[in-house]
Structure 1
């Protein structure tokens, strides 16, 4: 069996790095034979994270990227609805999936979650968050305390075709820029209005900014 890239999460392989799993017990999605040998207690086809006793400590998900990724969209930290469902942007009023649908001109909102991720990857779009873990009550970015940053620099080195980074909201921009520092010069940067319902800018205005990222997905000679 071929060994997938250490930082790549696809639908059939979830590679989890201990630098952002910390003390959580991680049960990755891997080949069933290997999973039974290495993770005998693994259940089902989702990333299983044993919750901390501290219910304010929140952790990010694994990155959703592959070798084709040209555009990486970075959020801050999953909200309560996303953590409960173990899915990126799971709150029904979060506009991410609608905005992404417009961006790639393919309706993602009617697809199940795994197919949504597959479709994003096929359109060369990846997802992750800038915060690995933090203390936070509720879902608001303003409540994030003691954040540990994800190792974005290491992830970027594994993406040979990455061209652009979109920061989903002001918190993602602030932390992401601090983490990447002068490496930002190597990529097109998009500072996006947050897709969160907490950011009340009208959808049409959000969409106009998000659509500027289409240029990052165009094939170049």
Structure 2
């Protein structure tokens, strides 16, 4: 039987302008208490290429990016999004009301996007392909191009 897991708190700053929303942190990310901690996930590589900064928190702060996940908690056996069940969503609406500078929400992957649309249909969101290594359809270069376009648009 799978047990309920709880995600991470948001990383957000007073000057955040973009919120990137994932689905639920991987088992590795939960263990390390850091978003996208699995070395095979290309999220940080994408942002490092775009911003030429390797310090994760400094990168987020100087690029005005906040991170959170749509799932506050869920039941999941492995790290695969396809196994996510019984979602309790995070209060994305509340975060946006608190941090009024955030004017763009980008979803990292289809699960994040579809779940945002289900729980927060009135929040305008942009879909970007998942940075997970399981999403082999997109190269690092493809992901950089897509995310850069959405970040700067």
TM-score normalised by length of structure 2 = 0.92
1:145 Cα deviation (Å)?
Answer: 1.0
1:206 aligns with 2:143: yes
Q: How far apart are the structure 2 equivalents of 1:190 and 1:208?
A: 15
Describe the superposition over 1:76-115 as per-residue Cα deviations: whole angstroms up to 9, x where unpaired. 0001111111111000110000111123x2232xx3xxxx
Residue matched to 1:127: 67
Runs of 4+ in structure 1 deviating by more than 4 angstroms, as ranges, are: none
Q: Give the Å deviation of 1:174.
A: 0.5
1:64-79 matched pairs, under 5 angstroms: 64-79=11-26
Q: Structure 1: 5+ residue runs without aligned partners?
A: 1-53, 217-221
Q: Distance in 2 between matches of 1:72 and 1:156?
A: 9
Task: Indicate the structure (1 or 2) with the bigger Cα radius of gyration.
Answer: 1
- The answer to whether the aligner puts 1:191 opposite 2:131 as a matched pair is no
CA deviation after TM superposition for structure 1 residue 58, in Å:
1.5
- Provide the rounded CA distance (Å) in 1 between the counterparts of 2:135 and 2:147: 14
Deviation of the 1:55 alpha carbon? 5.9
- Could you say which residue in structure 2 is the equivalent of 1:143? 83
Q: In the TM superposition, what are the counterparts of 1:105-184 in structure 2 within 5 Å?
A: 105-108=51-54, 111=55, 116-184=56-124
The RMSD of aligned alpha carbons is 1.5
In the TM superposition, what whole-angstrom CA distance separates every residue of 1:142-167 from its partner, at most 9, and x where no partner exists? Answer: 00111111111111101121121110
Is 2:19–2:106's contact at 8 Å kept on the other side of the alignment? Answer: yes
Aligned length, in residue pairs:
152
Corresponding residue SS for 1:73: strand
Q: 1:178-208: per-residue Cα shift (whole Å, max 9, x none)?
A: 2221232xxxx32111011111122222222
Query: Match for residue 17 of structure 1?
Result: none
Q: Which has the higher strand share?
A: 2
Task: Flag the structure with more relative contact order, 1 or 2, with Cα contacts below 8 A and sequence separation at least 6.
Answer: 2
- Alpha carbons 1:77, 1:129 under 8 Å: kept: yes
TM-score by length of 1: 0.65
